[in-house]
Amino acid sequence: MNATQTRERAASLLDTVALHPTLEAEQADLAAFTERLAALDAHPNIEVRLFNPFKFRFWRVFEYVADFRRINRRMHNKSFTVDNQVTVIGGRNIGDEYFAAADEGTMFDLDALAIGDAVQQVSDDFDRYWASGSSYPASLLLPRPTATAIAALRAAAVQLERGPAAVAYRQALAERPQVRSLMRGELPLNWATTHLVSDDPAKALGHKTSESPWTQIQRMMGPEKELGLVSPYVVPHVEGANFLLETASRGIQVSILTNSLEATDVAAVHAGYAKWRRKLLEGGVRLFELKRASSPTQTSDAGPLGSSASSLHAKTFTADRARVFIGSFNFDPRSARLNTENGFIIESPAMAQTIWLPPPENSSCAPNARRTEAVMST
């Protein structure tokens, strides 16, 4: 097998395993996940590092007790960069539900694809995280994979890749106009000044760092007439609520789109938003809630976490319909204080006006959203 074939096989293996099933320890049996991750790391063209991991994989409960302040922090950044030529940044995780490929439920998300100087910014930021004190080679923490585990991973990847669902998905993707334009080199691009905002990885260690993405968003977006916020989880707490209310008090129209209780995938987080609705509404903030986009029937595994139906997952801010933030930052204390986050601030009226814009006063909402005019029951 030549080098090109090896790279192609590695890309195929990574893409297939990443899309089905989701590689998240919280959603898989820990032993099986660990074995699969170690087998993936054993591929000659794939290297895996774990950011701020459990150092004792099978004794996590004790590490929670002994080192909770560190364990409670996580890397929430999302970026995908190829050959230092093109990068994608946004709120999307790697999992079927984020690519409309899941059997039940889809996360509505938003990304920005960029070329030019912005790519190097993202690439340098990736290197900063890769080499940080919180980044550990998987081979140091995971048991050495057996030949049987590696063979099983390869077989599973081939089976998934050749399965009818994957074939139909790739065909549907290939027929999309955007993909066709991209493959022909004719995808229209919006040339604009773009700034990467990203947390210092030292934040995961609890160290004091320089300006956070949230601080940079407030400073660089600087709304004068209108602020639009889209976030799946809106838990403003005192600091965030004061920012929204102070902004509205200056005559700036503040509008927020978030998940309704029926659409959220985390009902407990929605409760943290619901208790702030009255104060925000009384302060002039306009609230819009996304309605569930599919059948109200919930699967048995939805449980207390929320609905299994389609849900908003995009994170974006627009200011004066001239500047836009697209990234991983949720409007909640975890993103501000604990997680590491990243995103682009893009100075582009054309792009800002293609993002969700609230309807004018006294007009009807889009069919998949409703405006919160008064305090609703939780």
Would you give the end-to-end CA distance of the chain in angstroms? 59
What is residue 4's three-state secondary structure? helix
Residue of 20, 43, 78, 270 marked active site: 78
Residue of 83, 103, 208, 301 marked active site: 83
Q: How many CA atoms lie within 13 A of 164 on its CB side?
A: 0
313 part of the active site: yes
Query: Nearest Cα to 199, choosing from 75, 314, 342, 58?
Result: 342
Tokens of 27: 């959603």
CA–CA gap between residue 92 and residue 79 (Å, rounded): 9
315 part of the active site: yes
Q: Convert 293-332 to b/e letters by CB count within 10 Å (16 or more is b).
A: eeeeebeeebeeebbbbbbbbbbbbbbbbbbbbbbbbbbb
Residue of 20, 41, 43, 76 marked active site: 76
CA–CA gap between residue 229 and residue 178 (Å, rounded): 26
320 part of the active site: yes
109 part of the active site: no
Spatial contact of 293 and 307, defined as CB atoms under 8 Å apart:
no
Residue of 43, 199, 313, 332 marked active site: 313
83 part of the active site: yes
Sequence-distant (≥ 6) Cβ neighbours of residue 81 within 8 angstroms: 87, 88, 119, 122, 123, 126
Residue type, 258: T
291 part of the active site: no
**What is the DSSP code string of 150-201?**
HHHHHHHHHHHHHSHHHHHHHHHHHTSHHHHHHHTT-------EEEEEE--G
Sort strands 193-198 and 342-347 into parallel, antiparallel or unpaired: antiparallel
Query: Which residues form the catalytic set?
Result: 76, 78, 83, 313, 315, 320
